[in-house]
Amino acid sequence: MSKYLSSDDIRDRFSRAMSEMYKTEVPQYGTLLELVARVNHETLEKDPHLAERLEAHDEIERLSVERHGAIRVGTPEELAGLRRVFAVMGMQPVGYYDLSEAGVPVHSTAFRPIDDAALARNPFRIFTSLLRLELIEDETLRQRAAEILEKRSIFTPKALELVDTFEAQGGLTEDQAEQFVAEALETFRWHQDATVDWPTYQALSAEHRLIADVVCFRGPHINHLTPRTLDIDSVQQRMPEVGITPKAVIEGPPQRQCPILLRQTSFKALEETILFADHHEGSHTARFGEIEQRGVALTPKGRALYDRLLKTGRARSQGLDNTEHQRVMQETFAEFPDDEATLRARELAYFDYRLAADSEHDSKSTMAPDLEAAIEQGLVIARPITYEDFLPVSAAGIFQSNLGGQENEGYAGNANREDFEAALGARVTDELSLYAERQSHSLERVMTALNLSQD
Ligand code: OOG
Ligand code: NI
């Protein structure tokens, strides 16, 4: 047995500690967690078939611990530091998201666990954005922002020391891990006092509110934490009952028999009192709450169809309320097959193949001529692979709803993955390749076990 705690354990502890901290910082988040737990419980009670399926797919356990968060940093050094901190918790950078297209001066990745066992244990993810100062046109303002960022250090000395220890030893002992969780948490804490005076804040905020949010504080405060719900429509509808006002529409695909990708909604950021460095008392809005419902990961072909229908649907539902928006989306997405067999046959979504439990012992002697027959005979089970990543259009909608819709079209067309990776000090993993690999590995195992040839 290793004398070190596993990265999965450290991540699990950290995500719980982060959730506790955010609950005290933003009480509405606690209220939202309770509502989501209630809705999930009711949904599972009403639908025993869903409960069984989630159980069989190792998804019941992770449901109650599942959440993602989001942070924004200001410099390449900060981003690279985060990469090392998250690596201690088994979280790798996956995906590149260009938000300049949506008028927000950042690009992003998601730090998350990658392998099946780690995802089943606790899929905690952090959507991490890097501010793009180079997109600020006003040179004086750009330099001012860079100088301010230069002066801060977002990690505690002890956290950095423990990251060094982790890298040198290849793990952390129980005591070290405990201390690491407490120290790492400090980076994401909220501070009511800004590091700049009120005029500086206002100047940065006038360029873009997000720039002020990144530059004017001691560190990348966690700006939301998002539990996973099994029925997002119900939570959206019931939020007002618990005193929470949801954003206008649910982002992403409409409700379906076979959920795809990711549906998200949030509540508006709070206006919070801030004490500025010149003792001016002002306010800042940054922190909010969000919920998500996850479905199956799509292949490039499925994703292209999703993107096309989303674009059509959004164009047709401009300015509509959520009920009408969802109706238009349902109509638009009627073209997207909504049963697992077709999603699989047309290679629109990724599946994980397993031998049925009772076909394991005499698998070699089955008479199934091919995979499809084996599935039909119940020897092999194909289960949808859950989408673990994010969606740029939805993310833009979430950013926008919390920035008062502030967009700057001048930022668009600036995707720069190379720059982002240079800042990160590593390549980001392509999310689609991860799903494709999981599918093909599972397929190989099943084919070998059943003596089937792959053609
Ligand atoms: C991140 C917004 C993106 C999501 O769930 O798509 C996001 C941010 O506001 O910093 O969290
Ligand atoms: Ni989010």
> Ligand 1 atom 3: the closest Cα is on which residue?
395
Q: How many CB atoms are located within 10 Å of the residue 45 CB?
A: 10
Distance (Å) from CA 293 to ligand 2 centroid: 11
Task: Give the position, in ligand 1's atom list, of the atom nearest the Cα of 129.
Answer: 10
- Burial of 1 per CB tally in 10 Å (0-12, 13-18, 19+): exposed
Task: Give the position, in ligand 1's atom list, of the atom nearest the Cα of 71.
Answer: 10
Distance (Å) from CA 37 to ligand 1 centroid: 22
Pocket of ligand 1 (CB under 6 A): 70, 72, 127, 129, 223, 264, 290, 390, 394-395, 398-399
CA-to-CA distance for 315 and 313, rounded, in angstroms? 5
CA 246 to chain centre: 19
pLDDT at 242: 93
pLDDT at 396: 86
pLDDT, tens digit, for every residue of 29-78? 999 999 999 999 999 999 998 888 888 877 887 888 889 999 999 999 99
Which of 85-89, 257-261, 360-364 has the least mean pLDDT? 360-364
Domains and CATH numbers, the chain: 7-294+387-424 (3.10.180.80), 298-346 (no CATH), 351-384+431-455 (no CATH)
Residue burial 283-311, b: 16+ Cβ < 10 Å; e: rest? ebebbbbbbbbbbbbbbeebbebbeebbe
> Ligand 1 atom 1: the closest Cα is on which residue?
70
Task: Indicate the SS3 state at residue 125.
Answer: strand
Per-residue pLDDT at 366 exceeds 70: no
Comparing 298 with 450, which gets the higher pLDDT? 298
pLDDT at 405: 61
* Residues forming a β-bridge with 70: 127, 224
CA-to-CA distance for 451 and 367, rounded, in angstroms? 10
Task: Indicate the SS3 state at residue 256.
Answer: coil
Distance (Å) from CA 8 to ligand 1 centroid: 23
Which of 21-35, 119-133, 390-404 has the least mean pLDDT? 390-404
pLDDT at 54: 86
Of 401, 333, 408, 345, residue with least CA distance to 372:
345
Per-residue pLDDT at 361 exceeds 60: no
Distance (Å) from CA 3 to ligand 2 centroid: 35
pLDDT, tens digit, for every residue of 201-231? 999 999 999 999 999 999 999 999 999 999 9
To the nearest 10°, report the CA torsion of 80, 96, 119, 124.
60
To the nearest 10°, report the CA torsion of 332, 382, 110, 209.
20
Q: Which ligand number lies closest to the CA of residue 398?
A: 1
CA-to-CA distance for 221 and 236, rounded, in angstroms? 25
pLDDT at 172: 98
pLDDT at 399: 81
> Ligand 1 atom 9: the closest Cα is on which residue?
399
Query: Over the chain, what is the mean pLDDT?
Result: 92
pLDDT, tens digit, for every residue of 91-139? 999 999 999 888 889 999 999 999 999 999 999 999 999 999 998 889 9
pLDDT at 404: 67
DSSP 25-64: H-HHHHHHHHHHHHHHHHHHHH-HHHHHHHHHTT-HHHHT
Rg from Cα positions in the chain: 23
- Burial of 454 per CB tally in 10 Å (0-12, 13-18, 19+): exposed
CA-to-CA distance for 264 and 61, rounded, in angstroms? 21
* Tokens describing residue 438: 């999981």
Comparing 450 with 329, which gets the higher pLDDT? 329
pLDDT at 406: 64
Per-residue pLDDT at 248 exceeds 70: yes
The angle formed by the CA atoms of residues 117, 120 and 125, to the nearest 5 degrees, is: 105
Of 417, 449, 399, residue with least CA distance to 72:
399
pTM as predicted: 0.94
> Ligand 1 atom 6: the closest Cα is on which residue?
395
What is the percent of the chain with per-residue pLDDT over 70, rounded to a whole number? 96
CA-to-CA distance for 1 and 225, rounded, in angstroms? 34
Q: Which ligand number lies closest to the CA of residue 400?
A: 1
Average pLDDT over residues 303-329: 94
Tell me what ipTM this predicted complex has: 0.99
Residue 363 banded pLDDT, cuts 50, 70, 90: low
pLDDT at 360: 59
Distance (Å) from CA 42 to ligand 1 centroid: 28
CA-to-CA distance for 69 and 79, rounded, in angstroms? 16
Residues 6+ apart with CB under 8 A from 258: 295, 296, 338, 339, 340, 343, 349, 384
Task: Give the position, in ligand 1's atom list, of the atom nearest the Cα of 292.
Answer: 5
pLDDT at 270: 85
Residue 455 banded pLDDT, cuts 50, 70, 90: low
What is the percent of the chain with per-residue pLDDT over 90, rounded to a whole number? 76
pLDDT at 297: 98
